[in-house]
């Protein structure tokens, strides 16, 4: 059976954004290591953190902007983190990842591909458990 990877990247809107979100980003990278997503039609599910900062603001919170790259190598999902979210970054990220499952299911209806929705939801739930265990204790979820 085909197995896909989950990957994370980030676009920080300034040094302040990087400083605030970097521990969470590192926890996400560690949590996704060796995690396999089965029944997904692309080699990668790529989450991109878009973090408002002193230089650039993306001005949204949560998951949105699903996009398939032209080579059909990955489906990307943006996760927005506003400055106002800084006291709840862990929850914003967790909720965005979990809500992305519903967005992916809705998105696939307009596309010509299929996804194992149950496997997706289970994998993302596992990712969140791993992510929360990777967070430094002073950050919590």
pLDDT of residue 140: 57
First-to-last alpha carbon distance for the chain, in angstroms, is 33
What pLDDT does 1 receive?
44
- Provide the pLDDT for residue 106: 86
Per-10-residue mean pLDDT for the chain, 141 residues long? 88 97 97 94 96 97 95 96 95 97 84 85 96 82 52
> Distance of CA 50 to CAs 28, 66, 69, Å?
14, 13, 18
Query: What are the residues whose beta carbons fall under 8 Å from the beta carbon of 12, sequence distance 6 or more?
Result: 18, 21, 49, 51, 53
How many angstroms separate the CA atoms of 101 and 90, rounded?
18
* CA dihedral of residues 27, 31, 74, 13 (deg, nearest 10): -10
pLDDT of residue 139: 72
The pLDDT score that the predictor gives to residue 113 is 79
Token pair recorded at residue 56: 């650039």
Residue 3 is predicted with a pLDDT of 87
Domain ranges of the chain: 3-134
Question: What is the structure's pLDDT at 75?
Answer: 95
């Amino acid at each position: 059976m085909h197995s896909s990877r989950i990957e994370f990247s980030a676009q920080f809107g300034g040094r302040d954004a990087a400083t605030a979100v970097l521990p969470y980003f590192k926890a996400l990278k560690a949590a996704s290591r060796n995690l396999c997503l089965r029944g997904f039609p692309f080699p990668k599910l790529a989450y991109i953190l878009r973090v408002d900062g002193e230089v650039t603001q993306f001005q949204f919170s949560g998951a949105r902007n699903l996009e398939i790259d032209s080579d059909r190598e990955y489906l990307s999902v943006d996760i927005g983190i506003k400055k106002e979210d800084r006291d709840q970054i862990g929850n914003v990220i967790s909720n965005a990842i979990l809500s992305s499952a519903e967005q992916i299911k809705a998105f696939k209806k307009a596309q010509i591909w299929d996804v194992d929705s149950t496997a997706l939801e289970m994998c993302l739930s596992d990712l969140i458990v791993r992510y929360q265990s990777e967070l430094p204790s002073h950050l919590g979820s």
